[in-house]
Amino acid sequence: MHEQQIAPASSSRRDALRAGAAVTLSGIAGGCATATGILPVVPPAAKVVQDSSQVATTPASPGAVMPQKAEDKPTFVSEARDPVAYSRADNLFWNDVMMEHAQFFQMLMWGPELEAERRQAEDFQRVFADLLRQSGGVSRENHVAFNRRSIDQARRFSDWKKTMEQRQASGRMHSLVFPLFFTHTAREADRFAARLDQYNRGSIELDRREVIDFWTKTMGEHAGFIVQLLDPNELLLIDQARKLEESFLRQGFRDVAGDEVMKAGREILDFKTVGEKGIRNGRIRSVIHPSLASHVRREAVRFIDELRRA
């Protein structure tokens, strides 16, 4: 059965979060629990209309094209339960993610001493941009061959990321990329390649435990990155991000058959949606580029979609 789009969730801007803090605390005292245990990101008295496109999925129909601006990018998902549709959706989504990873590395690898590494990242950006432009054309006739191309490039990029992580962690390279960010993005490349290989073998099934393991680790690390990238004065948001990180990485979610994981997914999606809006309009102080805020928000949308399908 084809999955429905994610229903819009509530969100707020930073000033609304602060204005509703007292209401939030009283709501918890009254027994309003959340899956992660953090303060509800959206106080009941401070809800505002959310842009539904930020939390909706988009079926990856034949000929689909990814817009260039990050804020305009949809979260592509499979429109049907077959390897071709899944191949098209994953190529559209993950080739874009890989391309953005390369862009982020360029932003964070500055100075003449990192010119060679920056050029390597530029090369990967061009490779995945080219694959992305062709991804909407994935069809029954070409999906296996196209998947093989994407698999090859994703594995090459993963190997490069792992090499960069080792150099950064050992002090042989000094960039502004966290070693964990290299590890995090390499894991995403490996999973992208593994899923495409699965489609080429005729299987589209998602293992619920694998989905939960991969995405909760991803969401937890996102929260940890956000803690480090927010302005030190953003105490409320830093506290919320720390609690999200703790929940996803330390506490874990063992109720794989229940809805606690879905609740947690919606909570971090709310948090990221609020964050992206606040970063774009200057109400949240950070060193987070708007394209990175959009990137992690779209991954949260994808997490919820896979959880529904698993």
pTM to 2 decimals? 0.86
Assess if CATH 1.20.120.160 describes domain 82-203.
Answer: no
- Give percent of the chain above pLDDT 70: 81
The per-residue pLDDT for range 160-178, each reduced to its tens digit, is 999 999 999 999 999 999 9
Section 56-78 average pLDDT: 97
Q: Decide if 124 contacts 186 (C-beta within 8 A).
A: no
The per-residue pLDDT for range 26-46, each reduced to its tens digit, is 322 233 355 565 544 444 333
The per-residue pLDDT for range 195-211, each reduced to its tens digit, is 999 999 999 999 999 99
Domain ranges of the chain: 1-62+205-283, 82-203
pLDDT at 13 exceeding the cut of 70 = no
pLDDT at 293: 98
The per-residue pLDDT for range 227-256, each reduced to its tens digit, is 999 999 999 999 999 999 999 998 667 666
